[in-house]
Amino acid sequence: MSSHQLYQTRTFFFPILNRNVTILMQTRNGPCLLLAIFNALALKGQISIDPGVYSSSAVVDFIRGCCPKAKGLRKMKKGYIVNPRFGGCLLFEKIPSFLKELDLKIVHSMVPREKSEGYSIISKHDCESLQLRLMELDCEDQHINNNHVMNNNHEINNNHEMNNNYLMNNNSDSSSNNSLLACFEMLVNECSSQNSEDLMKNNNEITENNMKENKINYPNDSILEKPKNMNRNPDEKKILLEWNKKVQYQVTNYGISLIRNTMKEDDIFIYFRASHFSVIYKHNNHIFNLITAHSYLGTRSVWQSLPRVNGDVQYFDENFRCYTNMSYAPTGKVEGNKVIPTTELQDNQSDGHGCNIA
């Protein structure tokens, strides 16, 4: 991502500060974590700028002016990849260390219910380890299938060897009978006993050589051994596959509820979802997501609810009033990057303005 990324601004009234604040808007895909950090600090009253257009380098300087100890900020201009862990909404494999200096927290909503059947299996994974574990399970299953085929072949070879031994034993008995007959004939013909012994020895050597030549070599037993980690939960793969499908949109309804319970009134966090970072704010026990898409500059829409798994989302003005008029702040479903308007949305919660929010 180019360091010459430019951001326009938007100014609106923010009740917690009892004054106007100016935030940055995003015109295209870019370093959204950098944008979220700036806007979170602006809502906290730690950064104040005039309306205008700003580069990503200027944004870094503003943040650094707020916290000189923040190191690695310039790397944020190229974006940042995080790895959420499924054990809790605050858990990540790695996040920028300077966020602690800025007193900012990142949350995600990819969390299973603690009382769910597969919680103990799912909660120990993150996004990356989940994919790796699914690959390992596929390899283990393939190993089991291969062993099954090899064991079947082993049994066939054993039967083949038994048949060969049976035939060779019969041949050996026949050779012995022939030898005795030859000895008898030699004795009758007054042949020496030494010639009879030599003939029997030769016959035995021939039989032994035949047995060696016909013996089948088998693979070492170690090849048929199971992998060391085969003592696994038989339902592990099924549980992880179902979870992988469930979090393809990087959100669960339980995860949203967990975020609401984690945040205190007037808390400002950074929210990660769908490979995007945004700012969330808790007001009147509800979670609101700050809108930074440039396309909303022409509307009164400043906040939106956190989209649920089914895509339901509502829009609010600067005073957290919900609008159903499309020219202001449409209510509808999110499909891709578009908002599909709906006339009714049913839920058990309402903000008092006819809107249903988290």
User: Do 223 and 308 have their domain in common?
Assistant: no
Same structural domain for residues 60 and 133? no
AA letter at 297: L
Same domain, 219 and 267: no
Q: How far is CA 235 from CA 137, 246, 290, in A?
A: 11, 17, 40
The closest alpha carbon to 133, from 237, 228, 227, belongs to 237
131-148 tens-digit pLDDT: 999 999 999 878 766 665
Structure confidence by residue, pLDDT tens digits, 99-119:
998 999 999 999 999 999 899
Query: What does the pLDDT average to over 213-224?
Result: 42
The answer to the question of residue 93 being in a domain is: yes
- The number of distinct structural domains making up the chain is 2
Would residue 122 count as lying in a domain? no
- Is 1 part of any domain? no
Same domain? For 170 and 99 the reply is no
Same domain, 106 and 197: no
From the list 154, 150, 335, 130, the residue with the least C-alpha distance to 236 is 130
pLDDT tens, position by position, 240-286: 999 999 998 899 999 999 999 999 999 999 999 988 999 999 999 99
Q: How far is CA 263 from the centre of its chain?
A: 25
Tens digits of residue pLDDT in 59-78: 999 999 988 878 888 888 88
- Domain presence at residue 256: yes
Full domain range(s) for residue 162: 129-242
Residue 182 is assigned to a structural domain of this protein:
yes
Is 143 found in the same domain as 82? no
Q: Quick check: is 238 in a domain?
A: yes
In a domain, 326, yes or no: yes
Q: Is residue 348 part of a domain?
A: no
Q: Which stretches does DSSP call E strand in 2-73?
A: 6-14, 19-25, 53-55
